């Protein structure tokens, strides 16, 4: 039997893609190499547009957020303060959630949608022709082959899918610094009841902030009362190797060198030493019937928390397009728009994370640069620009439409009967919002038509399943429906 789609990798991106496909009526199988997820601390939460996207799928509260996403009053760029409360509007949302918990919830959602997830199954080779992809898998019972119409690599920065597909991974490796991190408890009086740390000689530090000194950079967050995830970056140390079993004393010594003070720590979990960071992007996101998402397509520094924002939006962009191809209505070239839309976004994230890492380095020249950047961030327009960059709110996909909404994210507007746009996007289907009686005759099997009296910013708006506007205006709807959703049924 040939599956519709096989997904290699059962992390957040692989699981979310399986959910998206299931909502669209596409059968997907997820193969995850780990029988039991290793207790390695990874992402701390969601930042930016992806928080709204999770709300559009009805997952925001389930992931620990409130009824609706709320904007951050402040953030940081390269450990410099980014005051957001003075902006008229911005899209820097944050949803703190450890990646392991995120994966658990997405796995639960996938199971509810009937997705099959096989754990302890590793892809070792693949082959494809113009009809199907065949992957060779090593599982608990030995080797076997699985065939699918399409295969998606969500298997991380060392992606076997990418390598087996012959896709290059150009970029740089910056090994000039060492990052030591772990989850610990911190004793009073340094640990205050509100999550802040009162470090002798340095003062109070707030969670979810970066502190840059001439010794390096210190960051921490608190996800449970009294439980801190701490990290210390140092530049210019002697050559070291990565270590997933680092002693607590090594982390403590590094923090003391960076902060100039001891941090009393105990009960460590997931202590880890990582040397440097890769900033790389796949030369292509597609090779025939094989696609890459998330870290398989791009790796970069985690400063500013852009990883899941980037990877999960890759998934939302690809999912509905793959579903259209499986169901047979996808117009020519639709699958190619996955790479043409998402590759530039990945390049932009790599650019801004490298810029932030440069601002964290020690030395008087960087200190001078930080002083200048602080002045620039005092300007309202510059602050807006940086906020949009970090949130991914500056994305505008290329379109032939001239309306200013086309290619941009569809705002969560209030609609009739107490509904909002997010309520209409739960099913991951295209939505045509219309104030003027527009119809989608011939496309109602794949497009929901919703009349409204709300002010949309246009007479009608055609919203893609990923939340971005395909078309807006009064004329040209039929052409847009053909362009994005194929021939009428």
Which pLDDT belongs to residue 1? Answer: 58
The tokens describing 432, both together, are 């045509």
CA atoms 71, 191, 222, 298: torsion sign: positive
Which pLDDT belongs to residue 393? Answer: 97
Spell out the domain ranges in the chain.
3-44+98-169+282-359, 173-279, 416-485
Residues of the chain with pLDDT under 70: 1
Which pLDDT belongs to residue 222? Answer: 86
At 361 the three-state DSSP class reads coil
Terminal-to-terminal C-alpha distance of the chain: 27
Query: Which residues are paired to 266 by β-bridges?
Result: 185
Which pLDDT belongs to residue 224? Answer: 80
Are 345 and 396 in contact by the 8 Å Cβ rule? The answer is no
For residue range 20-79, list pLDDT tens digits in order.
999 999 999 999 999 988 777 788 899 999 999 999 999 999 999 999 999 999 999 999
Determine the Cα–Cα distance for residues 81 and 59; give it in Å rounded to an integer: 30
What H or E segment, with its residue span, contains residue 359? helix 336-360
What residues contact residue 164 under an 8 Å CB cut-off, 6+ apart?
Answer: 123, 125, 126
Which pLDDT belongs to residue 228? Answer: 93
pTM here is 0.96
Determine the Cα–Cα distance for residues 232 and 234; give it in Å rounded to an integer: 7
The tokens describing 56, both together, are 């559009």
Which pLDDT belongs to residue 453? Answer: 96
Q: Where are the beta strands (DSSP E) in 206-348?
A: 209-213, 216-224, 227-235, 265-281, 286-287, 290-292, 298-299
In sequence order, what DSSP letters do the residues of 215-229 get, joined into one string?
Answer: TEEEEEEEEETTEEE
**How do strand 469-473 and strand 460-463 relate by DSSP bridges?**
antiparallel
Phi, psi torsion values for 29, nearest 5 degrees: -115, 130
Which pLDDT belongs to residue 37? Answer: 81
What residues contact residue 281 under an 8 Å CB cut-off, 6+ apart?
Answer: 169, 170, 171, 297, 298, 343, 346, 347, 350
Are 90 and 387 in contact by the 8 Å Cβ rule? The answer is yes
CATH number among 3.30.420.40, 3.10.20.30, 3.40.30.120, 3.40.640.10, domain 416-485: 3.40.30.120
* Fold category of 173-279 in CATH: Alpha-Beta Plaits (3.30.70)
Determine the Cα–Cα distance for residues 53 and 412; give it in Å rounded to an integer: 10
For residue range 387-435, list pLDDT tens digits in order.
999 999 999 999 988 899 999 999 999 999 899 999 999 999 999 999 9
Determine the Cα–Cα distance for residues 203 and 259; give it in Å rounded to an integer: 10
Nearest-10 crossing angle of helices 336-360, 380-391? 120
Class of the 3-44+98-169+282-359 domain?
A: alpha beta
What H or E segment, with its residue span, contains residue 151? strand 142-153
Are 93 and 74 in contact by the 8 Å Cβ rule? The answer is no
Residue given tokens 């990798």 in the structure block: 9
Are 39 and 269 in contact by the 8 Å Cβ rule? The answer is yes
Determine the Cα–Cα distance for residues 337 and 345; give it in Å rounded to an integer: 13
- Calculate the CA 424 to chain-centre distance: 22
At 196 the three-state DSSP class reads coil
**How do strand 216-224 and strand 209-213 relate by DSSP bridges?**
antiparallel
Determine the Cα–Cα distance for residues 32 and 137; give it in Å rounded to an integer: 11
| Cβ burial, residue 454 (10 Å; 0-12/13-18/19+) | middle
């Amino acid at each position: 039997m040939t599956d519709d789609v096989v997904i290699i990798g059962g992390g957040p991106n692989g699981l979310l893609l399986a959910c998206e496909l299931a909502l669209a009526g596409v059968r997907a199988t997820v193969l995850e190499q780990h029988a039991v997820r290793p207790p390695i601390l990874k992402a701390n939460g969601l930042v930016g547009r992806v928080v709204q996207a999770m709300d559009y799928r009805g997952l925001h509260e389930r992931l620990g957020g409130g009824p609706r996403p709320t904007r951050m009053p402040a953030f940081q760029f390269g450990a410099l303060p980014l005051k957001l409360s003075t902006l008229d509007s911005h899209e820097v949302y944050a949803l703190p959630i450890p990646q392991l918990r995120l994966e658990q919830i997405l796995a639960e959602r996938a199971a509810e949608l009937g997705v099959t997830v096989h754990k302890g199954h590793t892809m070792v080779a693949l082959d494809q022709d113009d009809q199907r992809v065949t992957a060779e898998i090593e599982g608990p019972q030995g080797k076997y082959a699985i065939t699918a119409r399409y295969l998606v690599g969500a298997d991380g920065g060392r992606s076997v899918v990418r390598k087996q597909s012959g896709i290059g991974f150009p970029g740089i490796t910056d090994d000039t610094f060492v990052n030591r991190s772990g989850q610990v408890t911190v004793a009073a009086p340094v640990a205050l009841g509100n999550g802040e740390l009162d470090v002798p000689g340095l003062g109070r530090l707030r969670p979810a902030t970066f502190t840059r000194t001439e010794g390096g950079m210190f960051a921490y967050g608190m996800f449970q009362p009294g439980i801190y995830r701490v990290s210390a970056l140092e530049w210019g140390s002697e050559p070291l190797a990565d270590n997933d079993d680092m002693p607590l004393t090594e982390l403590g010594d590094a923090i003391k060198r960076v902060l100039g003070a001891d941090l009393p720590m105990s009960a460590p979990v997931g202590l880890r030493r990582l040397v440097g960071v890769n900033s790389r992007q796949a030369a292509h996101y597609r090779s025939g019937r094989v696609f890459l998402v998330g870290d398989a397509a791009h790796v970069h520094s985690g400063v500013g928390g852009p990883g899941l924002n980037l990877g999960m939006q890759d998934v939302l962009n690809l999912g509905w397009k793959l579903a259209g191809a499986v169901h047979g209505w996808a117009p020519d070239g639709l699958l190619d728009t996955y790479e043409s839309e998402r590759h530039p976004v990945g390049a932009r994230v790599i650019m801004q994370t490298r810029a932030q890492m440069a601002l964290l380095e020690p030395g008087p020249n960087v200190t001078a640069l930080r002083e200048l950047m602080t002045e620039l961030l005092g300007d309202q327009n510059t602050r807006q620009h940086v906020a949009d960059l970090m949130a991914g709110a500056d994305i505008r996909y290329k379109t032939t439409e001239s309306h200013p909404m086309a290619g941009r994210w569809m705002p969560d507007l209030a609609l009739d009967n107490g509904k909002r746009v997010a309520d209409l996007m739960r099913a991951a289907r295209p939505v045509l919002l219309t104030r003027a009686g527009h119809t989608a005759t011939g496309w109602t099997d794949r497009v929901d038509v919703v009349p409204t009296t709300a002010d949309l910013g246009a007479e009608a708006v055609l919203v893609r399943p990923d939340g971005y506007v395909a078309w807006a205006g009064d004329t040209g709807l039929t052409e847009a429906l053909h362009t994005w959703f194929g021939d009428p049924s």
